[in-house]
Copies of this chain bind each other. A is one copy, B any other.
Amino acid sequence: MPREADQRREAILELAHTTGLASVEELSLRFDVTPSTIRRDLARLQQAGSLARTYGGAMAINGRPESSLRERFGEAYEAKRGLARWAAGQVVTGESLLLDAGTSTGALAHELRRMGPLRVSTVGLTALQELAGLEDVEVECLGGILRPVSLGFVGPVTEAALERRTFDRTFLGADGVTAEDGICEADERQTRLKELMMRRSAHVYVLAHAAKLGRRPFHAWAPLPDACTLVTDESATQADVAAFTRRGIEVVVVDSTGQRRS
């Protein structure tokens, strides 16, 4: 494989990331190849998720690797937005909230943007990005080591910060949830953190779309407290829901517009 082509593509990427915007013609002159070739390069880079194609050129993709943005975000997106909307509806102006890391809570953060004065603490980079720059929301990051996959903060720093604060409501995500064992995560640091988060708040909400219910993908667990609301979507089975209610856990089923259905 000619390295010349790879070099050019890398240079294009570099250029796009620094300039922010680059046109096909510009690039074709710059590298002395035909617009066709540039188009092919851009198509490839776009597919790799490192660029966004525009009319006549390309622009740098801001922020996160596409993987977490569309691939993981696309999965059950409508459902998650429904959960987020309902959850946002529970929030009262002026409250102090705690947001977990993950896409569900990221969606919640997005909904919170238009909710006026709030105080939001979070352990998730996604939520931070959603709330960054807002004037009427006091955003706090609890700090910690950033986990590359989930884009969440964990570790002693996070836990120490948590211990200095309490919240009106806490919203958690999960890799899996069961009625028996609670929240399932890949990592023990995460479950310990979630336990701590649950203890620091009067109300705890677990946002988990139907596919998460009953799943046990890993082996680290955080038990659910008594005062806890599980929020899920319409495709949850009766059996799944019943398992939780039997344990005394309130279950809220919402549709994709955020309306409660049961």
Contact = CB atoms under 8 A, between A and B. Distances in A.
Interface of A: 17-18, 20, 52-55, 59, 61-65, 68-70, 73, 77, 81, 110, 125, 128-129, 131-135, 138-146, 148, 151, 153, 155, 157-158, 160-161, 164
Contact of A132 (B54, B64, B160): B64
29 contacts: A17-B110, A18-B110, A20-B69, A20-B70, A53-B54, A54-B54, A61-B62, A62-B69, A63-B63, A63-B132, A63-B133, A64-B129, A64-B132, A128-B146, A132-B146, A132-B148, A134-B148, A140-B144, A141-B143, A141-B144, A141-B153, A143-B143, A143-B144, A143-B153, A143-B161, A157-B161, A157-B164, A160-B160, A161-B161
A23 to B, nearest CB: 13
Given A63-B62, A125-B132, A153-B141, A81 B146 contact: no
A176 B140 CA distance: 26
* Copies of this chain in its oligomeric complex: 2
Contacts of A55: 53-55
Top 10 closest A-B pairs, CB basis? A143-B143, A62-B62, A139-B146, A64-B133, A141-B143, A55-B55, A157-B161, A142-B143, A65-B133, A140-B145
A64 B132 CA distance: 7
Q: Which of A55, A134, A141, A148 has the most CB of B within 10 A?
A: A141
A65 B62 CA distance: 13
A132 B157 contact: no
